[in-house]
Amino acid sequence: MNLTLFNSHSLAGRLEIIWAHGFFLAHRGRRGYHIELYDMGGFFAEVWSNPQTDFISLIRGLDSKRALEPYVSSITILE
């Protein structure tokens, strides 16, 4: 799967793809949202949810290294 195809799916479709093929990397918070980062092989995906309602508001695919900067301090790479 590539980023363009991933982003062409509905919100529910992207979530199913993440559950089937994603590898959880990290999480962070922003503006009251809980954001999870997943490795999708050739790109990354973020899942934005409201922790009070468990409602998923946004799922987006990312291929920019700049988009990963908010996670740098929370990811540890061990041998």
CATH number at residue 47: 3.30.67
pLDDT band at 74 (very low <50, low <70, confident <90, very high): low
Q: Residue 47: inside a domain, yes or no? A: yes
Residue 22 phi/psi, 5-degree rounding, is -80, 155
- Does 79 map to a domain? no
Distance, first Cα to last Cα, the chain: 28
What pLDDT is recorded for position 79?
A: 44
Report pLDDT for 76: 61
- In a domain, residue 64? The reply is yes
pTM beyond 0.75: the answer is: yes
Containing domain of residue 12, as a range? 3-74
Domain count within the chain: 1
Residue 20: pLDDT over 50: yes
What is residue 54's predicted lDDT score, i.e. its pLDDT? 84
Tell me whether residue 17 is in a domain: yes
Is residue 19 situated within a structural domain?
Answer: yes
Judge whether residue 34 has pLDDT over 60. yes
Q: Are strands 33-39 and 44-50 parallel, antiparallel or unpaired?
A: antiparallel
